[in-house]
Amino acid sequence: MSTVLRQHAEQLFAQELEELQKNDSNKKPANWKLSPQSVVMYLTGGKLNNGFEVSPKYIGNKRLMEIAVATLTTDRALLLYGLPGTAKSWVSEHLAAAISGDSTMIVQGTAGTGEEAIRYGWNYARLLAEGPSEKALVETPVMRAMKDGKIARIEELTRIGADVQDTLITILSEKTLPVPELNTEVQAVRGFNVIATANNRDKGVNELSSALKRRFNTVILPVPDSMEEEIDIVRRRVESFEKVMELPAEPPALQEIKRIVTIFRELRNGASLDGKTKIKSPSGTLSTAEAISVVNNGMAMAAYFGDGQLKANDLAAGILGAVVKDPVQDKIVWKEYLETVVKPREEWKDIYRACRDLD
């Protein structure tokens, strides 16, 4: 077993990608490892003609994945947009893995991301010693993707300053990256494209210019539609975490996952599942990703400080940490939810007591 804490998608799902490639009889765009149909199957799961099962990476509307993949066959870039925790980065990584066989050409967007992170940089020791030269040039993931005809990923695009964002315009419209210092340019090889992600919670931080927006096709990834969908996502991701971390604990009971998802959905939607009780929503997003994190944390607690079986006591601290982001307002919301929704549920007495004990 690999000792790497988190393998890249193309390593973790190498067997699935290999099987899909062997059974792929559809036309592939230039430099794509799989056909668009096989990329969608890789993302949404299914059974191949030889009986091999492909696990779903994205559980939700298949049409959204078809639109995303179709976009990447054109000259327009793809922007995955939505609430935090709606699997934007996850989908971006798996798209790059299935299309290019390489999900590592990534730029992490922050307020401090400069032009040199997207275009190119310089080895300053060499630059001072030799002057501008190809050897002194430091290639970025975007430049490498252009040269190799692969997918470049830009995470949290709206966190990058507007002036830096706009360095993408020439790359996306002209498919070229000028290097004026060397009086040359890098032209994109067929197969090159960009997948960017952005949170709608960051709206207004650094709005995309209209010129840049036109170069992207936006696919909005929603929160899971149904309770069953969200439970399935959490269960699959927790199973994967448990295997990698080799926790000495039993797999979590579906009932415990269901309770966490129920709490998150009720607080997110501002009403109990039966619709009889209105609830105030806390300031956090309470995303599916956070639900996964709460169960994972509970598993670690059960493994090392419990009896190896996930119980309410193991989950309580994680739930509180996820819900109470603002120590004043969110605490009031949480206490009200505990008393009006959790306490009356007979089968939830253990969760109620465990959470009350932490107050």
pLDDT tens, residue by residue, 200-255: 876 557 788 899 999 999 999 998 889 999 999 999 999 888 887 888 888 899 99
Q: How far is CA 68 from the centre of its chain?
A: 14
Q: Is the pLDDT of residue 13 over 80?
A: yes
User: DSSP character for 208?
Assistant: P
Task: Average the pLDDT over 30-37 and give the result.
Answer: 97
Q: pTM of the predicted model, to two decimals?
A: 0.90
CA distances from 41 to 61, 81, 269, 278 (A): 13, 22, 31, 40
Residue 17 to residue 101: CA distance in whole angstroms: 9
Q: What is the pLDDT of residues 169-188, one digit of tens each?
A: 999 999 999 999 999 999 99
pLDDT, mean of residues 191-205: 84
Q: Shortest CA distance to 102 belongs to which of 6, 218, 17?
A: 17
Nearest one of 92, 51, 101, 47 to 71, comparing CA atoms: 92
Give the integer Cα–Cα distance in Å for 234 and 327: 27
pLDDT digits (tens, 9 = 90+) for 75-104: 999 999 988 888 999 999 999 999 999 999
Structure tokens at 215: 């170069």
CB 352 within 8 A of CB 343: yes
- The amino acid that residue 181 corresponds to is E
Is 166 a residue whose pLDDT tops 70? yes
- Nearest Cα neighbor of 43 from 100, 6, 104, 93 is 93
Neighbouring residues of 58: CB distance < 8 A, sequence distance ≥ 6: 43, 44, 65, 87, 90, 91, 94
Start-to-end C-alpha separation, the chain: 42
pLDDT band for position 64 (50/70/90)? very high
Pairing verdict, β 151-155 and 193-199: parallel
